[in-house]
Structure 1
Amino acid sequence: MAVYLADEQDLDIDAEDLLDLARHVLAERRVPGDMELALLLVDRDTIAALNAEHLGKDGPTDVLAFPIDEPGESPPDTPAILGDVVLCPAVAHEQAEGLGRTPHDELRLLTVHGILHLLGMDHAEPDEERAMFTLTDELLASHGRS
């Protein structure tokens, strides 16, 4: 599984931990090994522009997920790209304190959250939200044990 990280913002983050966490989530969710994932760390202006362009919403957000290929649907001998998870560490840092988490823990949670969106999970309905957030907690906990 190839996981790439592009850091296009100014805050210090633990890139290796986020990459390791992303690989862990993909392995735990049994994503085929030929799938690729990109984590993009951007500033508030960049994520606000993406939020407006793709979701029609004003202002910055914490994470956006852009799926590309479904696991197992790419033709043989072609790259399979799961998608991109775009994270805004500045927003994660701002909301972490109010949620009782460290900025790094918030960024880790958002990384898992974004990957689960790429894998087709959502939280529009209460039962979906419960399932997604339970799985997020389980994946974060199991990463700490692996």
Structure 2
Amino acid sequence: MSIELFNESGAEAPEDLIIEIARFAMGRMDVHPAAELSIQLVDLDTMAELHMQWMDLPGPTDVMSFPMDELTPGGRPDADEPGPSMLGDIVICPQFAADQAAQQRHSYQHELAVLTTHGVLHLLGFDHAEPEEEREMFGLQNQIIADWYDARDQRSRAQRQDAKDARLLRNLGFDSGPSSTSRES
């Protein structure tokens, strides 16, 4: 998956985290591995302009999604294999996200993960205009984020275990690095 992120917001944002959760959400939703996604981080004024232009609503918002190609998760087993395509654009306002995170008493990073996942789901056609749609979309969003946190925790535990194993091998006299030499008997 090709994901491009452009930070035009003037705010610090964990770009690697945003790309990571976008990639995870797209993978979880079975989006074609060659699909492309663009993520833009914008300031409050730019987001307010986009919000008015596209939604006819005043003031900034947290995230907006602009789908490009008709992609759906999964697909039919008898359908032709879809080729790579442009999923669309997600626009996030970090300043709005930071305020929202403070109000909801969770981290800025978590809020950006939520907004990114929310944006990906909108690009795939999910919506929350009706109560049933809202339950489905937010349930799926929460499950993707929980799974992402679990995967990150597992990766972190594996890295810590690998570091412990490497220290143990060094202490036992084994060099696990690429510069080790072989011994002849």
With CA pairs under 8 Å and 6+ residues apart, which has the higher RCO, 1 or 2? 1
Q: Equivalents in 2 of 1:52, 1:112: separation in Å? A: 23
1:54: which partner in 2?
54
Which deviates the most, 78-87 or 61-70? 78-87
Runs of 4+ in 1 over 2 A off after TM superposition: none
Determine the structure 1 residue equivalent to 2:23.
23
Deviations 1:22-64 (A, max 9, x none): 0011111000112101111000011111111111111101000
Cα pair 1:93 1:106 within 8 Å, conserved: yes
Give the whole-Å Cα distance in 2 for the aligned partners of 1:107 and 1:79: 26
Residue 71 of structure 2 corresponds to which residue in structure 1? 71
The unaligned stretches of length 5 or more in structure 1 are none
Match of 1:95 in 2: 100
Q: Distance in 2 between matches of 1:71 and 1:133?
A: 19
> Residues of 2 paired with 1:128 and 1:110: CA distance?
17
AA partner of residue 139 (structure 1): I
| Offset from partner CA, 1:87-141 (integer Å, 9 cap, x none) | 0000011111221211221111011001100000000111111111111111111
Distance 2:133 2:112 in 1: 21
**For the residues of structure 2 that align with 1:25 and 1:79, how far apart are their CA atoms?**
17
User: Which amino acid in structure 2 is aligned with residue 92 of structure 1?
Assistant: A
Quick check: 28-37 or 96-105, which moved more? 96-105
Task: Provide the rounded CA distance (Å) in 1 between the counterparts of 2:51 and 2:109.
Answer: 22
TM-score normalised by structure 1 residue count:
0.92
Partner of 1:115: 120
Asked if the contact 1:18–1:111 (Cα under 8 Å) also holds between the matched residues in 2, the reply is yes
* Cα drift, residue 12 of structure 1: 1.3
8 Å Cα contact 2:32/2:84 also seen in 1 = no
What is the distance in 2 between the residues matched to 1:106 and 1:23?
16
**Paired residue total:** 143
The 2-side partners of 1:50 and 1:31 are apart by 26
Q: Is the 1:35–1:71 contact (alpha carbons within 8 Å) kept by the matching residues of 2?
A: no
Distance 1:71 1:53 in 2: 24
Q: As a proportion of its length, which structure holds more strand?
A: 1
Q: Point out the structure with max Rg over C-alpha.
A: 2
* Long gaps (5+) in structure 2: 73-80, 152-185
Are 1:142 and 2:147 matched, yes or no?
yes
Please tell me whether the aligned partners of residues 63 and 114 of structure 1 are also in contact (alpha carbons under 8 angstroms). yes
Q: Percent identity?
A: 40
1:104 match: secondary structure = helix
SS at match of 2:59: coil
